[in-house]
Amino acid sequence: MINRWNRREFLQKTSAATLAALGAGAPMASLLQGCSSADKGKPKLVGQRGTADTVILLWMAGGMAHTETFDPKRYTPFETGMEGNRVLSTFKSMPTALDGIHFSEGLQSIGNVMDRGTLIRSYVAADMGHILHSRHQYHWHTCYEPPQTVAAPHIGSWIARELGPKNQVIPAFIDIGQRFTVGEAEELKAFHTSGFLGNEFGPFFIPDPSQGLESVRPPIGMDARRFERRNQLYNELISNSPVGEFGSDYQKESLRRSMEQAYRLLNSPEAKAFDLSTEPAHIYERYNTGRFGLGCLLARRLTEQGARFISVTTEYEPFKGWDTHENGHTRLEDMKCQIDGPIAQLILDLEKTGHLDRTLIILASEFSRDMMVEGRPDAKVLEQVNQPDILSDLKFYGMHRHFTDGCSVLMFGGGIKKGFVYGKTADERPCKTIENPVRIEGIHQTIYHALGIAPDTQYEVEKRPFYTTPDGKGKPVMELLA
């Protein structure tokens, strides 16, 4: 049966899960044996040396249409009065560094570095009834379908907890670009959390990368002594906060440790990594396409300083960015300009310094889009867009409805195959996955495998095991690994 939660029920359940996490004691680690009886004779995964040390997630928030980006289909130019069902791609396809593989026009820079990475063309998002962006984003980032009775940790928090910081001063989990003053703020907060793992493994937020230095230094006019007093006051406030009143000793101590980490960063030489003004002007301009582009530059600098997990997002704000409910074609022209150059430059820069070999870069979105199908062909859901059958205006030319049955994911570095394409979607509508479907648990376990994190890692929460992927059944997609 498909759950049909609305936004209010989603918030109520996730808020309750967060309160439950506050009252939980220290999660009990209990690593299971890395091989089941079915794996007899195969090498164990527990304690293995990973092929990556750092992860950079490039998050295309809002639903990036695969047929308009990394899996283009037949191009149909706009004509007034054309049938909407004729339209599969609104951009021409362009060759990439891989023979026979084309990307949508506007993504040539990324296409030119695809000999360094893998293209997955068969990611299938979950069926969760009426489609809400925040619910699918929750599912992608935590691997758990909302709502949950336990606050599920973000994948960045799992990685921070299992591997710890590479550099004791640099936060292990850094989130760049997402503000919580726009759109579905509370829903987004529901998965930007470390859940039961504790605050010290939660994200260090940098909403605007151009002001990254402001995130790691006291406000202007506040001297060191005054800041020290404020830090002491903050520790007192913790005791009087909901965490102090209702939280377990583990959660209180974890919150204090997170503040100590932030305090160390404020007084460290590494804080300069957050200051983009020190970057050479010609390099800065290569990334300067907006907040996302500068976020890629900051991610590169933080990777070089020892960050463990970095998320850079185009930011989810309803009806903006990749959330192309109208003006899809013209909006996508702008989005491609924002991401194409900076992503390719990030890959080339990390390759040049030798960091790409141990840095796993993932580009993904919560689901794709199709002009005619909401959900997937055999599991359609309530349509949310009035998409006319006959296109009389350019604003209807583009991918508008939410489509979950065929999405593209890119991976680079960190042990991923080079110049590889996995999976396939149909060339005609519905452009759904027809070969090698990949689901979120496979994506997560592939990342964990590359990092050397055992597939059955779990903690005991509320007297039951909570795994990195539901029931510990997720398996890496080994074909993606070199």
Residue 221 within a domain: no
Residue 38 within a domain: yes
Tokens of 95: 């060759």
What does DSSP say about strands 424-425 and 82-83: parallel, antiparallel, or unpaired? unpaired
Residue 262 within a domain: no
Residue 275 within a domain: no
> What's the whole-model pTM score?
0.86
Residue 239 within a domain: no
Is the omega angle on the peptide bond into residue 95 within 30 degrees of 0, that is, cis?
Answer: no
Q: Domain count of the chain?
A: 1
Closest CA to 355 of 297, 304, 296: 304
Question: What CATH number does the domain containing 195 carry?
Answer: 3.40.720.10
Partners of 362 in the β-ladder: 57, 411
Residue 363 within a domain: yes
Tokens of 337: 């300009």
Residue 250 within a domain: no
The domain of 54 spans 7-210+280-480
Residue 226 within a domain: no
| pLDDT tens across the length of the chain (482 residues) | 344 556 556 555 555 555 445 545 566 654 333 333 333 333 334 446 799 999 999 999 999 999 999 999 999 999 999 999 999 999 999 999 999 999 999 999 999 999 999 999 999 999 998 899 999 999 999 999 998 888 999 999 999 999 999 999 999 999 999 998 887 788 889 999 999 998 889 999 999 999 887 877 665 665 656 656 655 655 565 566 555 555 566 566 666 666 666 666 767 778 899 999 999 999 999 999 999 999 999 999 999 999 999 999 999 999 999 999 999 999 999 999 999 999 999 999 999 999 999 999 999 999 999 999 999 999 999 888 888 999 999 999 998 999 999 999 999 999 999 999 999 999 999 999 999 999 999 999 999 999 999 999 999 988 899 999 999 999 999 999 99
What does DSSP say about strands 375-376 and 309-313: parallel, antiparallel, or unpaired? unpaired
C-alpha span between 121 and 372 (Å, rounded): 20
- Name the percent of the chain in helix, strand, coil, to the closest 5: 40, 15, 45
